[in-house]
């Protein structure tokens, strides 16, 4: 099969012909028909995450070796089952839920596979969906998407469930309070498109790019703000009557989280999702004085994926703008994403 692989960190992906995997045990082989190109793939491609203060977390240090096939938003058709696999049949189309652990330890048993110390995520640990075929570890991770456009369904596995899980952490907000989403890129737009279905609050979207602010308004934001504007903090504090009660920072950069810390209301919660990287200075006294919480949210679990797909199939989630691109353009697609050319999401189709 053809796979589009990292062969050198940060260098263009290479089209390589490799052996099509054969499912063993409970594994299921999918012929990939849609595969989302995620912003986090850029970090994987570079080979490190920026932890701030010139500290880099290198993927080689956590066992990632090249060549490597990225792609964790995988959707495809079942073409073969391992000898112990059941629950799906050849010909079924499924989303491969990627955030899986060993399946056996304590956290995996209670459904928090995200916390497992032995993750088996396709596209970050195991071979992923930038290829013609992808191995799923077990049919329990294969999620139906009846009636949903394939390219949209594929993105639900990462940007969709990431946005949903972050929003759920602010479910307690009330209709007279404000929820602010920072960053209307791929994941941010997914969050904006489902915010009203999960959190009953007024929705403010902050982005430095006027085109993305326009996209946010079209996707359902009640108001938008340019957080790079020198008066933005003052204006937002005035228009919200003392700040926003919940923030989801889909950027995760010093400027965006800094903006959240300046505009959060007393008792508010900041959920950091974005992996842009860097570090912020946190005046510790603001934590007790503002009774503020800063928490992190990373993708979502399998239960949340099923909850999300129930909302999606019920038509309660506005699909993000998607640009399908043929699988063979994988290298160009991720390069274009890095160059900031994508509004919404690229999905590789085959
Ligand atoms: Zn992703
Ligand atoms: Zn585990």
Q: Domains plus CATH for the chain?
A: 2-161+300-349 (3.90.180.10), 170-296 (3.40.50.720)
Measure 103 CA to ligand 2 centroid, in angstroms. Answer: 5
Smallest-distance ligand from the CA of 104: 2
Query: What span, in angstroms and rounded, lies between the C-alpha atoms of 322 and 185?
Result: 12
- Strands (E) across 148-263 are located at 178-182, 202-206, 223-225, 244-249
pLDDT (mean) for 8-21: 97
Q: What is the pTM of this model?
A: 0.90
Residue 63's pLDDT is: 82
In angstroms, the first-to-last Cα distance of the chain is: 12
Instruction: Enter the DSSP assignment of 328.
Output: G
pLDDT digits (tens, 9 = 90+) for 244-283: 999 999 999 999 999 999 999 999 999 999 988 888 999 9
Residue 6's pLDDT is: 98
| Inter-CA distances, 216 with 79, 164, 222, 297, Å | 39, 17, 9, 21
Measure 187 CA to ligand 1 centroid, in angstroms. Answer: 9
Measure 153 CA to ligand 2 centroid, in angstroms. Answer: 26
Q: Are 186 and 342 in contact (CB under 8 A)?
A: yes
Query: What share of the chain has pLDDT > 70, as a percent?
Result: 99
Residue 344's pLDDT is: 66
**Residue 40: helix, strand or coil by DSSP?**
helix
Phi-psi label, residue 340: left if phi above 0, alpha if psi -120 to 50, beta otherwise = left
Measure 337 CA to ligand 1 centroid, in angstroms. Answer: 13
Query: What share of the chain has pLDDT > 90, as a percent?
Result: 87
Residues in the chain: 350
Measure 277 CA to ligand 1 centroid, in angstroms. Answer: 15
Residue 140's pLDDT is: 96
Phi-psi label, residue 286: left if phi above 0, alpha if psi -120 to 50, beta otherwise = alpha
Query: Is the confidence at residue 217, as pLDDT, over 80?
Result: yes
pLDDT (mean) for 102-120: 93
Smallest-distance ligand from the CA of 102: 2
Smallest-distance ligand from the CA of 116: 2
Query: Is the confidence at residue 345, as pLDDT, over 90?
Result: no
Residue 249's pLDDT is: 98
Sign of CA dihedral 214, 219, 220, 221: negative
| Strands laid side by side in the 14-17 sheet | 14-17, 2-6, 68-69
The confidence band for 333, taking pLDDT boundaries of 50, 70 and 90, is very high
Measure 5 CA to ligand 1 centroid, in angstroms. Answer: 17
Structure-token pair, residue 202: 């007024």
Measure 239 CA to ligand 1 centroid, in angstroms. Answer: 34
What pairing do the DSSP bridges indicate for beta strands 48-52 and 133-136? unpaired
Mean of pLDDT over the chain:
95
Measure 107 CA to ligand 2 centroid, in angstroms. Answer: 6
Residue 314's pLDDT is: 94
Query: What span, in angstroms and rounded, lies between the C-alpha atoms of 93 and 178?
Result: 39
Residue for token pair 């139906």 = 144
Residues ≥6 apart with Cβ < 8 Å to 253? 274, 276, 277, 278
pLDDT digits (tens, 9 = 90+) for 272-315: 999 888 889 999 999 999 999 999 999 999 999 999 999 999 99
Smallest-distance ligand from the CA of 274: 1
Q: Are 348 and 34 in contact (CB under 8 A)?
A: yes
Query: What span, in angstroms and rounded, lies between the C-alpha atoms of 200 and 171?
Result: 7
Query: What span, in angstroms and rounded, lies between the C-alpha atoms of 182 and 213?
Result: 10
Residue for token pair 């003392």 = 242
Query: Is the confidence at residue 52, as pLDDT, over 90?
Result: no
The confidence band for 222, taking pLDDT boundaries of 50, 70 and 90, is very high
Count of alpha carbons within 13 Å of 37, Cβ hemisphere only? 31
Measure 110 CA to ligand 2 centroid, in angstroms. Answer: 10
């Amino acid at each position: 099969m053809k796979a589009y692989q990292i062969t050198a960190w940060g260098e263009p992906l290479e089209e390589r012909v490799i052996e099509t995997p054969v499912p063993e045990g409970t594994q299921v082989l999918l012929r990939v028909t849609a595969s989302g190109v995620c912003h986090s793939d850029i970090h994987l491609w570079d080979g490190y995450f920026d932890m701030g203060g010139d500290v880099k977390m290198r993927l080689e240090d956590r066992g990632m070796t090249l060549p490597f096939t990225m792609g964790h938003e995988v959707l495809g058709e079942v073409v073969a089952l391992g000898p112990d696999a059941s629950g799906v049949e050849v010909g079924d189309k499924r989303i491969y839920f990627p955030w899986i652990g060993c399946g056996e330890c304590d956290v995996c048993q209670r459904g928090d596979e995200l916390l497992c110390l032995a993750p088996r995520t396709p596209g970050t640990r195991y071979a992923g969906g930038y290829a013609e075929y992808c191995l799923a570890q077990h049919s329990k991770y294969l999620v139906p998407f009846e009636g949903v456009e394939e390219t949209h369904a594929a993105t639900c596995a990462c940007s969709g469930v990431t946005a949903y899980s972050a929003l759920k952490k602010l479910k307690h907000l009330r209709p007279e309070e404000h929820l602010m989403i920072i960053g209307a890129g791929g994941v941010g737009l997914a969050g904006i498109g489902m915010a009203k279905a999960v959190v009953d609050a007024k929705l403010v979207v902050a982005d430095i790019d006027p085109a993305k602010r326009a996209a946010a308004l079209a996707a359902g934001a009640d108001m938008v703000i340019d957080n790079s504007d020198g008066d933005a903090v003052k204006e937002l504090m005035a228009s919200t009557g003392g700040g926003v009660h919940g923030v989801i920072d889909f950027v995760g950069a010093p400027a965006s989280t800094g903006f959240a810390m300046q505009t959060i209301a007393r008792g508010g919660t900041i959920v950091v999702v974005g992996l842009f990287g860097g570090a912020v200075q946190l005046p510790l006294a603001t934590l007790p004085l503002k009774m503020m919480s800063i928490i992190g949210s990373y993708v979502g679990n399998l239960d949340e994926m099923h909850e999300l797909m129930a909302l999606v199939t019920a038509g309660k989630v506005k699909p993000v703008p998607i640009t399908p691109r043929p699988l063979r353009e994988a290298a160009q697609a991720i390069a274009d994403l890095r160059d900031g050319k994508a509004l919404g999401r690229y999905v590789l189709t085959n």
